[in-house]
């Protein structure tokens, strides 16, 4: 293989570039923005006077590809922070109840038998509900198993206090409308693998510090050229291969031995490759940030029930809130949101009601909608072009739109190039190898 041009320096592109550079391949990384990281990056926010992330991100200790990536690129030991064991603090704003969900480390889920480890007011047998998801998804292609709503009862205390918040956070889509296959994959790789795979992990020092900067250093040390501010406008395609990458600032000729990884968002990839089957529906995420130093002993992450706030993160220099599947909030004035959310935090944490400096970040197309219809629109790494493969959290990883999925897709793309297997027709790749590998 000659040079590989990776276009898009989000985590999928970075992961592909790292996997290729690790194997000794020459890589050139092109990114439209002035900064790498895509939807997973840090920046200085003048209103807060703090460096924040474009969105609070939660990982779990079962995210093996994400953790493997951090190891490969030599990320600092404090890249991700979390408790030593799986422990999720929850508060119900309406009733004032507090509890801590504590799955045991091993695969055998004896924790559901222990009232002090499970959700108050629930019985051990209630926890069997997700088996319906596993049954419905079993043996089905992506999108072929139907919705969660059709496979488990989306009601009752445990659903409201556990399955709904957890599935909504993982899928960023109303769970009852979401794809069972995606939910099954998440459950299998986390709760199904035992509490040891469910330790919550947060990039307290920032996503760029944890993921992006170490990856760029790793790539630079291996001679990778990193070209920021380079927007791809089109592809010169002929005879089953791409001959040129057409950037806003000029064309890049692709030699006979060179290859391309397109690690772009689905709507951009679809512009480049007419006929590409890719998700077309997205869901937003709203984050709220408040400058206030959390009280000592505040849980790093607090799940909140019966509130607008869904997850409250206590960073050393701020409180931050994540609200998933938040399309309904896109038109709500930002100050109204800030006031409502701060009132909840003040009540939860016993703080003064005066609004501190705040910021509301609305990411409109945060993730693809995790519905069966969108899941069925995902495509493998291979394309109709011999020298071009795809990566991105929206490709057929089997996972929802997540860091783990993005990093896995980059590895899959690198593997597909090495196998020289990009021989598929423009839209959905019938070859399931890329998915099976996911
Ligand atoms: C607010 C928010 C919260 C999230 N929370 C979580 C979470 O808690 N846990 C979790 O695991 N995941 C979470 N995610 C999802 C996660 O961030 C994404 O799945 C992941 O970052 C996607 O990476 P990617 O490389 O596939 O896509 P992107 O990050 O979108 O990368 C695509 C890159 O291509 C570049 N690009 C676009 N057009 C061009 C062009 N024409 N030419 C060149 N470059 C171009 C973009 O600038 C970008 O850098 C969240 C996402 C958001 C937005």
- Delimit the domains of the chain by residue range: 4-40+207-279+374-436, 46-66+281-368, 95-198
Q: Does residue 47 contact residue 27 with C-beta atoms inside 8 Å?
A: no
HEC string for 110-126: HHHHCCCCCCCCCCHHH
CATH 3.60.20.10 fits 46-66+281-368, yes or no: no
> For 127, which DSSP code?
G
pTM > 0.85: yes
Q: What residue ranges in 13-169 does DSSP mark as E strands?
A: 27-30, 42-45, 50-53, 58-60, 88-92, 98-101
Q: For the chain, 438 residues long, give each residue's pLDDT as a single digit of tens.
A: 899 999 999 999 999 999 999 999 999 999 999 999 999 999 999 999 999 999 999 999 999 999 999 999 999 999 999 999 999 999 999 999 999 999 999 988 898 888 999 999 899 888 888 899 999 999 888 889 999 999 999 999 999 999 999 999 999 999 999 999 999 999 999 988 999 999 999 999 999 999 999 999 999 999 999 999 999 999 999 889 999 999 999 999 999 999 999 999 999 999 999 999 999 999 999 999 999 999 999 999 999 999 999 999 999 999 999 999 999 999 999 999 999 999 999 999 999 999 999 999 999 999 999 999 999 999 999 999 999 999 999 999 999 999 999 999 999 999 999 988 443 333 333 333 333 332
At residue 437, the pLDDT reads: 30
The closest residue, in CA terms, to atom 49 on ligand 1 is: 38
Residue range 4-40+207-279+374-436 forms a domain whose CATH class is alpha beta
The closest residue, in CA terms, to atom 52 on ligand 1 is: 366
At residue 30, the pLDDT reads: 98
C-alpha 349 to ligand 1 mean position (Å):
32
Answer yes or no: is the C-beta of 363 below 6 A from any ligand 1 atom.
Answer: yes
C-alpha 228 to ligand 1 mean position (Å):
16
> Which residues neighbour 349 within 8 Å (Cβ) at sequence distance 6 or greater?
294, 295, 298, 319
> Which residues neighbour 248 within 8 Å (Cβ) at sequence distance 6 or greater?
230, 231, 232, 233
> Which atom of ligand 1 is the closest one to the Cα of 36?
49
Given its phi and psi angles, is residue 187 left (phi above 0), alpha (psi -120 to 50 degrees) or beta?
A: alpha
C-alpha 40 to ligand 1 mean position (Å):
6
Q: Does residue 434 contact residue 380 with C-beta atoms inside 8 Å?
A: yes
**Residue labelled with tokens 């089109």:** 234
Both tokens of 182, joined, read: 């995606």
HEC string for 151-201: CCCCCCHHHHHHHHHHHHHHHCCCHHHCEHHHHHHHHHHCHHHCHHHCCEE
| Residue 349: φ, ψ to 5° | -110, 5
Helix (H, G, I), strand (E, B) or coil at 384: coil
> Which atom of ligand 1 is the closest one to the Cα of 37?
49
């Amino acid at each position: 293989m000659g040079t590989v041009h990776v276009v898009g320096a989000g985590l999928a592109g970075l992961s592909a570039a790292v996997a290729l550079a690790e194997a000794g391949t020459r890589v050139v990384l092109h990114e439209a923005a002035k900064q790498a990281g895509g939807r997973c990056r840090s920046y200085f926010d003048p209103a807060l006077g703090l460096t924040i992330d474009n969105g609070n991100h939660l990982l779990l200790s079962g995210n093996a590809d994400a953790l493997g990536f951090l190891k490969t690129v030599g990320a600092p030991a404090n890249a991700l922070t979390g408790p030593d064991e799986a422990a999720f603090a929850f508060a119900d704003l309406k009733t004032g109840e507090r509890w801590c969900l504590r799955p045991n480390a091993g695969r055998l889920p004896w924790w559901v038998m222990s009232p002090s480890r499970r959700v108050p007011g629930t019985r051990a047998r209630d926890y069997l509900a997700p088996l319906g998801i596993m049954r419905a998804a079993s043996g089905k292609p992506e999108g072929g198993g139907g919705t969660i709503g059709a496979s488990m009862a989306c009601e009752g205390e445990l659903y409201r206090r556990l399955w709904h918040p957890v599935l909504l956070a993982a899928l960023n889509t109303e769970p009852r409308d979401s794809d069972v296959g995606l939910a099954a994959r998440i459950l299998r790789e986390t709760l199904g693998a035992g509490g040891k795979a469910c330790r919550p992990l947060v990039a307290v020092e920032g996503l760029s510090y944890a993921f992006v900067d170490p990856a760029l250093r790793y790539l630079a040390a291996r001679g990778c050229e990193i070209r920021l501010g380079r927007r791809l406008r089109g592809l010169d395609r002929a005879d089953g291969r791409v001959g040129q990458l057409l950037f806003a600032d000029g064309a890049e000729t692709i030699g006979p031995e060179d290859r391309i990884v397109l690690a772009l968002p689905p709507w951009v990839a679809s512009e480049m490759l007419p006929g590409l089957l890719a998700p077309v529906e997205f869901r937003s995420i709203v984050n709220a940030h408040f400058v206030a130093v959390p009280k000592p002993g505040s849980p790093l992450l607090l799940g909140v029930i019966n509130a607008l706030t869904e997850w409250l993160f206590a960073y050393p220099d701020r409180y931050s809130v994540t609200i998933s599947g938040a399309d309904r909030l896109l038109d709500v004035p930002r100050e109204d949101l800030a006031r409502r959310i701060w009132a909840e935090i003040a009540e939860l944490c016993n703080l003064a009601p005066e609004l501190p400096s705040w910021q509301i970040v609305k990411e409109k197309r945060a993730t693809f909608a995790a519905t069966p219809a969108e899941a069925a629109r995902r495509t493998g790494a291979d394309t109709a072009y011999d020298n071009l493969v795809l990566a991105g959290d929206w490709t057929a990883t089997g996972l929802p739109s997540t860091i783990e999925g993005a990093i896995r897709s980059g590895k899959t793309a690198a593997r597909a190039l090495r196998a020289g297997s990009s021989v598929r027709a423009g839209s959905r790749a019938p070859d399931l190898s890329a998915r099976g590998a996911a």
